[in-house]
Amino acid sequence: MTAAAAQPSGPGAAPIRKIVIVGGGSAGWMTAAPLSQRLAKHCEIVLVESPEIGTIGVGEATLPTIRYYNRALGLDGADFVRRTQATFKLGIEFRDWGHIGNRFFHGFGDYGPTIETRSPYMHWLRLVRSGATQRPLEDFCVATVMARHQRFTPPAGDQPSASNAFSYGFHFDAGLYAAYLRDYAMQRGVQRIEAMIDGVELHPETGFITALRLRDGRRIDGELFIDCSGFRGLLIQGAMQSDYEDWSTQLPCNSALAVPSARVDKLTPFTRSTAHRAGWQWRIPLQHRTGNGHVYCNGFTTDDEAAKTLLAGLDGRPLDDPRQLRFTTGRRRRQWVKNCVAIGLSAGFLEPLESTSLNLIETAIGTLIQNFPDSTFNPGLSDEFNRLLAARYESVRDFIILHYKLTQRSDSEFWRYCADIKLPDSLRHQIELFKQTGRVVVYEPNGFMESSFVAIMTGLGVHPASYDPFVDLMDLGRLRQHFDGVHRAIAMTVRDMPDHTEYIARHVAAPAVPHPAGTVT
């Protein structure tokens, strides 16, 4: 998200004077907060949300990028953690993916420093092939070793070292986060209206949205309308008729059951994803409870069976009955149409396997600010926005498909289906090039990078047939010494780090407060 001012100032510019955001929750208030920070003194911002539309509170896991979003708003990091009942996230532990009994970790960090312009993974491959090391690749990722020992402290120091060669995200209560950003935005002038929307008025000639009609008789006019209404797509689908591109043949899961459970004593600094016969289960530890859910395809199991699987996998007593969610994976072909921009679930949905939902919201907001229009709404801006968001959604889609396609499981009809998924050409090229040469193709520079693809593909059992010949130019003895040194530095650094649960208790423990009704996933 850029910190540059969004408001146009050139000759002839007609600045937008009123923005209307439809829907609250994470998407609505994550949109309102940075717009209020930049535009509230120049532009009226109104957010309309309904008190009648419930949401599911399960806990939210994030990518490290949420830290930069928070920092751009000037949020206090410790206050944010306390106010949202947050814990820290170093990555995702995968269980029973690839084959039953398999366990691997996608950590937020690389596998050591680059060596003579080549990836550390390539040099590790050479060591393994030559018999010079038997240490697994994960031993060289600081975040993964920290998670294994359940340690945490923020990165420290200015010089590159094991003490700062990792990143982290968060687990938090998304309802509390939305409320936190709501306070932020309203303090900066955003007007909040609680009401049901009864209709949308369009200009008879241009087709632009001119106003919302509320059930209580009020009319809310505006110039830029942002649709954060969730799966309903009240504006982008209902008024703008933007087509939805269905990806369910490649990502077959279409259902989720979510339930909170009692907090466990040990707060793990990672999300857990456990594969089941017709999908997978998440576990997200918060300070006050644990969020759990089962994502599955109802064509391969029943809702009752899915609920039993979910409840059997809890490590604490359930605090509610499981709540049902249906979805169709995919995206809007056009996320910005005329004067309407869709952000969040109204723009598309990709299952939460890699915790990308809030990141896609961040990306959309940052891209909107970067391409912010004046009141003439030059179509080139919406074209560029749509191009960038399409690439981002497709990049995430491919990364998630990767987890399913590379399975060796044949114990259920669901996994046999996944093994036969027809791949997008882009992902087929990524997989084949890695299998043959160990090289990783990164199409989206703002998306998942090489280390993430390596973590997933090696974790699922892909062993490249060859590696970059340039790594053979380095003396093997020197290379082994280098990796031995990296391993020692990581082990010593992690050993001296505090326990994750103790770190939270000492520095950022949240006050005990009742859990609010109406939280958001």
What residues pair up with 72 in beta bridges, in sequence order?
none
β-pairing verdict for 191-194 and 44-49: parallel
* Active-site residue identified among 18, 41, 89, 338: 89
Distance CA(348)–CA(400), nearest Å, equals 15
- E strands, 417-515, are none
Give the full edge-to-edge strand order of the sheet including 169-172.
60-61, 169-172, 87-89
Helix 476-495 and helix 120-130, axial crossing angle in degrees, nearest 10 = 110
Ordered DSSP codes for 191-260: EEEE--EEEEEE-TTT--EEEEEETTS-EEE-SEEEE--GGG-TTTTTTT---EEE-TTTS---EEEEEE
Which residues are CB-neighbours of 260 under 8 A, at least 6 positions away?
A: 57, 58, 59, 289, 290, 291, 292, 318, 319, 320, 515
Q: Residue 396 is inside which H or E element, if any?
A: helix 379-405
Characterise 380 by phi-psi region: left (phi > 0), alpha (psi -120 to 50), beta (else): alpha
Residue 405 one-letter amino acid: K
- Whether 82 contacts 512, CB under 8 Å: no
Distance CA(436)–CA(464), nearest Å, equals 5
N residues, the chain: 521
- Give catalytic status of residue 266 as yes or no: no
Q: Give catalytic residues, as residue numbers.
A: 89
